[in-house]
């Protein structure tokens, strides 16, 4: 009996790290599944998707015994911003054939609502606008004038970014169909085109040779003050609790483009959100000398608005941050990871690189200079030492309907976590 028991306990303790590792991976998969699930509507501006995600994060922090970073017990920092949302179902058909939203076409996020029964589309050659780099549309006779136009040849000359040479606010009301080739990338926008236009980018390959009749129902709803939350949790430091190591990730994504067309944002940025949750659970068990602050931002996709608001209204003094690590798109690290701001903080990067070389956590660590491309930016501007870490590898799903939990490999994500834990422990 005794031998059996000791055998059992020996087995148990040998397997414990394995079990814990399995538990971690399981918890993280659960978080990603929840964040990308249909109930969170792409964590955007339809059906309170972002708010549901915020409440989920609060629940997960509470369950892990992590204290709120707020002065009250809510974990939530409320703010708002304007956003153009697409909460109602879309319909777009060309020559009687219905197109698939998100796959066959994307609406420009600054679009006004547009609706028409099947009407004849005017075919206008957009080519010469771009050839001459001309700013005008109306004077070129390319205006929709309240109806529907198909801008022929917009794709061949501009690779889908046809509005680069045009002020979208100058476009008159009406529906502009713009053929594009290759990957389509959606965005979130805080304003509408002032002239009343609706612009739709359509995959050139699925369009009939001649676009004749177009039927459309493309509603949008402008929200002048969409209510938003940043979420903050804190693990108190054992020696210097008023100084902070900070981990950040944005949990918002693009939401839905018309009811039912969800942009799940698994890599961008359920991956970073789940990773920071995972790190929070780790440091709750193994606190550092310094306090560890975990911040989850909304509004990133609409222009880093959550982190901007936070840096203007910090829950803890920015000057007391020893270092900040922002994780955005860390679900694919097959080819390693990149640190933005590496050249700005060469000593910190050298330490990170040394840690990685010693244990070969990641196959490669790339350095980059400053870039205003994620939530580290406003912290950097405020003088906070910060890296933005993103993974390299994967299938390249980005701001599209294909960035799903099923497609996310999480290759080397655990190794990245271990590397960042070692880095944080070194302060």
Do residues 250 and 307 make contact, with C-beta atoms less than 8 angstroms apart?
Answer: yes
Stretch that binds Zn ion, among 142-150, 206-214, 263-271, 330-338 (CB under 5 A): 263-271
Stretch that binds Zn ion, among 82-90, 264-272, 273-281, 287-295 (CB under 5 A): 264-272
- Smaller CB separation from Zn ion, 108 or 268: 268
Sites for Zn ion among residues 35-54 (CB under 5 A):
none
Binding residue (CB under 5 A) for Zn ion from 104, 108, 268, 332: 268
Residue 214, CA atoms < 13 Å, CB-side half-sphere: 26
CB of 268 to Zn ion, least distance (A): 4
DSSP 79-93: EEEEEEEB-S--EEE
- Would you tell me how many other CB atoms lie within 10 Å of the CB of residue 29? 14
The residues, ordered by sequence, that sit 6+ positions from 8 with a Cβ below 8 Å of its Cβ are none
- Euclidean distance between CA atoms 62 and 48, whole angstroms: 21
Stretch that binds Zn ion, among 168-176, 266-274, 290-298, 307-315 (CB under 5 A): 266-274
**How many binding residues for Zn ion (CB under 5 A)?**
1
Stretch that binds Zn ion, among 97-105, 180-188, 262-270, 381-389 (CB under 5 A): 262-270
Contact mark string toward Zn ion, 160..199, x via CB under 5 A = ----------------------------------------
User: Computed over its alpha carbons, how large is the radius of gyration of the chain?
Assistant: 24
CB of 300 to Zn ion, least distance (A): 6
- Smaller CB separation from Zn ion, 197 or 329: 329
The residues, ordered by sequence, that sit 6+ positions from 350 with a Cβ below 8 Å of its Cβ are none
- Euclidean distance between CA atoms 244 and 294, whole angstroms: 10
- Euclidean distance between CA atoms 362 and 367, whole angstroms: 14
- Euclidean distance between CA atoms 118 and 133, whole angstroms: 33
Q: Is 341 left (phi over 0), alpha (psi -120 to 50) or beta?
A: left
Give the pairing type, strands 67-68 and 386-391. unpaired
- Would you tell me how many other CB atoms lie within 10 Å of the CB of residue 24? 15
- Smaller CB separation from Zn ion, 150 or 263: 263
| Contact flag: residue 31 with Zn ion (CB under 5 A) | no
Stretch that binds Zn ion, among 30-38, 62-70, 268-276, 387-395 (CB under 5 A): 268-276
CB of 193 to Zn ion, least distance (A): 22
Kindly give the interhelix angle for 272-285 and 49-63, rounded to the nearest 10 degrees.
20
- Smaller CB separation from Zn ion, 402 or 427: 402
CB of 301 to Zn ion, least distance (A): 5
- Smaller CB separation from Zn ion, 86 or 244: 86
| Contact flag: residue 403 with Zn ion (CB under 5 A) | no
Number of H helices, E strands in the chain: 9, 20
CB of 44 to Zn ion, least distance (A): 11
CB of 298 to Zn ion, least distance (A): 12
Do residues 85 and 41 make contact, with C-beta atoms less than 8 angstroms apart?
Answer: no
CB of 399 to Zn ion, least distance (A): 6
Q: What is the DSSP letter of 101?
A: B
Stretch that binds Zn ion, among 54-62, 70-78, 260-268, 412-420 (CB under 5 A): 260-268
Task: Tell me the residue nearest to Zn ion as measured from the CB.
Answer: 268
- Smaller CB separation from Zn ion, 232 or 265: 265
Stretch that binds Zn ion, among 9-17, 97-105, 261-269, 273-281 (CB under 5 A): 261-269
CB of 351 to Zn ion, least distance (A): 28
The residues, ordered by sequence, that sit 6+ positions from 177 with a Cβ below 8 Å of its Cβ are 94, 121, 148, 149, 150, 151, 200, 202, 211, 214
CB of 49 to Zn ion, least distance (A): 15
Tell me which residues touch Zn ion (CB under 5 A): 268
């Amino acid at each position: 009996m005794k031998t059996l028991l000791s055998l059992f306990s020996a087995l148990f303790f040998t397997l414990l790290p394995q079990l814990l590792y399995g538990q971690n991976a399981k918890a993280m998969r659960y978080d990603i599944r929840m964040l990308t699930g249909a109930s969170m509507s792409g964590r955007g501006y339809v059906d309170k998707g972002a708010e549901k995600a915020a409440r989920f994060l609060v629940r997960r922090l509470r369950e892990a015994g992590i204290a709120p970073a707020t002065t009250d017990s809510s974990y939530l920092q409320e703010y708002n911003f304007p956003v153009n949302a697409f909460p109602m179902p879309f319909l777009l058909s060309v020559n009687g054939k219905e197109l698939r939203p998100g796959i066959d076409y994307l609406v420009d996020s600054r679009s006004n609502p547009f609706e028409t029964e099947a009407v004849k589309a005017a075919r206008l050659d957009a080519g010469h606008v771009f050839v001459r780099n001309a700013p005008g549309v109306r004077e070129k006779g390319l205006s929709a004038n309240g109806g529907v136009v198909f801008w022929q040849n917009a794709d061949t000359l501009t690779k889908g970014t046809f509005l680069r040479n045009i002020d979208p606010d100058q476009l008159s009301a009406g529906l502009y169909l713009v053929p594009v080739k290759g990957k389509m990338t959606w965005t979130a926008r805080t304003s509408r085109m002032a002239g009343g236009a609706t612009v739709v980018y359509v995959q050139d390959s699925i369009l009939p040779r001649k676009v004749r009749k177009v039927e459309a129902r493309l509603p949008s709803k402008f929200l002048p003050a969409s209510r938003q939350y940043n979420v903050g949790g804190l693990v108190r430091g054992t020696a210097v609790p008023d100084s902070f190591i900070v981990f950040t990730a944005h949990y918002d994504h693009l939401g839905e483009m018309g009811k039912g067309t969800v942009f799940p944002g698994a890599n961008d940025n359920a991956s970073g959100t789940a990773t920071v949750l995972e790190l929070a659970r780790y440091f709750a068990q193994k606190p550092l000398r310094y306090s560890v602050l975990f911040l989850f931002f909304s509004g990133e996709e609409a222009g880093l608005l959550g982190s901007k608001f936070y840096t203007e209204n910090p829950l803890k003094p920015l000057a007391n941050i020893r270092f900040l690590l922002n994780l955005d798109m860390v679900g694919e690290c097959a080819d390693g990871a990149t640190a933005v701001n590496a050249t700005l903080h060469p000593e910190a990067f050298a330490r990170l690189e040394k840690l990685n070389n010693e244990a070969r956590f990641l196959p490669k660590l790339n350095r980059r200079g400053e870039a205003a491309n994620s939530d580290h930016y406003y912290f950097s501007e405020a003088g906070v030492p910060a890296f933005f870490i993103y993974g390299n590898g994967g299938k390249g799903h980005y701001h599209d309907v294909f960035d799903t939990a099923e497609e996310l490999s999480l290759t080397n994500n655990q190794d990245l976590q271990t590397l960042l834990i070692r880095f944080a422990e070194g302060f």
